[in-house]
Structure 1
Amino acid sequence: MAPLPLKVLRTLIDFIRGALIGIVEIIPGVSGGTVALIIGVYERIIDSAGEFVRGIVHLVLDPPRGRGLATVKHHFRQVAWPLLVPLAIGMILGLLTAAAIVAPIVENHPVQSRAFFAGLILIALWVPARMVGGRWTWREWALAIPSAALAFWFTGLPTGNMSDPSLFLVAVAGAFAVCALAIPGMSGSFILLVMGLYEPTLAAVNDRDFGYLGVLLAGMAVGFALFVRTLQWLLKHHRRVSLAIMTGLMAGSLRALWPWQSESGLAQPPGSDAWLTLLWFVIGALVVTATLVVESWLVRRRIANGVAVIPS
């Protein structure tokens, strides 16, 4: 059998990457931004999203002022469409699959699931820590430690549930959740859980409630448009600082993945299933280690990164 062309293989890889992000976004406590960092697409997503937002702003403002569409086209050309399109399709399909399959597994086996994801994220801390570049100074530690404490406090907040939320609250929750999605270590699903909207949102996805989902997506679009340019600027001008904070947020968020918890999210001592739980923790650590090794191999083979490695 002839090998797949490089562009086809790259598209397939990006589709799988998107599916992974979509799957974990349905699980409270697990950050899609973290997975994007692990699989090597985080900064390209943020850069492309920033250019897309600029293009939309100019599309709205420039024609009425007689400025034409030249600036709009410039920004849209900077978007990594060959990456974002398969990534977005994979995310949508992964999210729908997770809502129907993965979420029930997590609900029926919460202790083992949290242990698995805790092992995954603990090893994944190496990704943003390495991306800081060089030896960490006192400044990086001074930012990472309070960030970890903030995430630790936030993930310890009690959760709730609303049976009939207002659409305004749904839009606000979407705006906050998408900001968390863009930050490694902060889970958009956990934001919804804290605001009492996780179960209604999951039900809306499974029931195809397009009215609810449309309002949620509108809130997400507004929140992302307001937030992504700030994040892009920070990564460009304060890269070490930003990545150190992300590392701290990821570390602190591990509190949400302590395997033994009460229904309200309070930590409890280990149970009689400690050894089985430890096994799932190790499996999670091995999975992300294997992912990082494969990603490194693919980059060396010049087939993983469409813009940086393979010309589009």
Structure 2
Amino acid sequence: MEWRNIYRGMLMGASDVVPGVSGGTIAVLLGIYDRLIEAISGVFSREWKKYIGFLIPLGIGVGISIVSLSKLIEYLFEHHEQATLYFFLGLIIGVIPFLLHQANYKENFKGSHMVFLLVFAALVASMAFLETGEPEAWEGSLSTGQMLALFFSGWMASMAMILPGISGSFLLLLVGVYETAIQAVSQLQIGRIALIGAGVAVGLLISSKAIRYLFKRFPSHTYATVIGLVIGSVFVVFPGMPGDLILCLITFIGGLLVAYLLGKVEY
């Protein structure tokens, strides 16, 4: 068992509950993105035993983080929203140099790669202009349509979670089930959690195999796409001009510093 994955999973879990921040982005920063995709894809194969030691501690960390840190993040967003977002902004921007280094962009990126980068950056950045008003959480028994909605929401969110730059929580906001999903986890509503979990499992299986294939067949174009997704997420997370300039500057620099230090440790 790779028990150090518990702290990695906690970092990924903390980011996944923040709309606009991707767990995949954190996996890139931690230097485990390739292994994560391979393990998720491989755990559904005959060689599943070789991947369990990687995934179980990671899953434990994600679970601990979602349960224990969700209230802290909720508090920070309620009382220091801008400063918190500037921290994540620094963290995301700090990931970009690592991605560029991994892609060896100076040698591998040509005109077509830059087109991919710019197009996907624009697609993600456009999410900043989408309406994300959140309706009330669903109460009482669920209709068949609501059950299907939770399943497919879990499917979409899981695919987004392992794509750097796209936030699963943000997609849940867009489709209007974020509050329902958070309430299900906080109140341990087993039926709803099972529906979302089933969607997550299907989404992870399909998306991990697709991403693994793309990295093997088209590595430079895939890296260009991922970098574009991360750059685009900067515009989604950006909270506007800071009200408390000093505090936001401190948290932004703190995010950059954390990205740098984690990169040094992991690489």
- Tell whether the structures are fold-level matches, with TM greater than 0.5: yes
Matched, 1:159 2:154: no
Give the match for residue 214 of structure 1. 194
The answer to whether the Cα contact below 8 Å between 2:242 and 2:248 also exists between their aligned partners in 1 is no
Give the match for residue 145 of structure 1. 118
Give the match for residue 37 of structure 2. 46
Task: Return the match for 2:206 from 220, 226, 237.
Answer: 226
Matched, 1:241 2:232: no
- What is the root-mean-square deviation in Å for CA atoms of aligned residues? 1.6
The answer to whether the Cα contact below 8 Å between 1:176 and 1:191 also exists between their aligned partners in 2 is yes
Give the match for residue 106 of structure 1. 77
Give the TM-score taking structure 2 as reference length: 0.91
Give the match for residue 60 of structure 1. none
Q: Distance in 2 between matches of 1:121 and 1:207?
A: 31
- Structure (1 or 2) with the larger CA radius of gyration: 1
Give the match for residue 131 of structure 1. 102
Q: Percent identity?
A: 28
The answer to whether the Cα contact below 8 Å between 2:127 and 2:236 also exists between their aligned partners in 1 is no
Residue 19 of structure 1 deviates from its aligned partner by 1.0
Give the match for residue 15 of structure 1. 6
Residue type of the partner of 1:86? P
- Counting only pairs closer than 5 Å after superposition, residues 69-108 of structure 1 correspond to structure 2 as 72=46, 75-77=47-49, 79-108=50-79
Alignment gaps of 5+ in structure 1: 1-6, 56-71, 261-269, 297-312
Higher helix residue share? 2
The answer to whether the Cα contact below 8 Å between 1:33 and 1:42 also exists between their aligned partners in 2 is yes
User: How many residue pairs align between the two structures?
Assistant: 258
Q: Distance in 2 between matches of 1:76 and 1:271?
A: 48
Residue 134 of structure 1 deviates from its aligned partner by 4.7
Task: Return the match for 1:250 from 223, 227, 230.
Answer: 230
Q: Distance in 2 between matches of 1:203 and 1:288?
A: 31
Task: Return the match for 1:196 from 171, 176, 179.
Answer: 176
Residue type of the partner of 2:129? G
Matched, 1:181 2:154: no
Q: Secondary structure at the match of 2:130?
A: coil
The answer to whether the Cα contact below 8 Å between 1:26 and 1:98 also exists between their aligned partners in 2 is no
Residue type of the partner of 2:36? I
Give the match for residue 117 of structure 1. 88
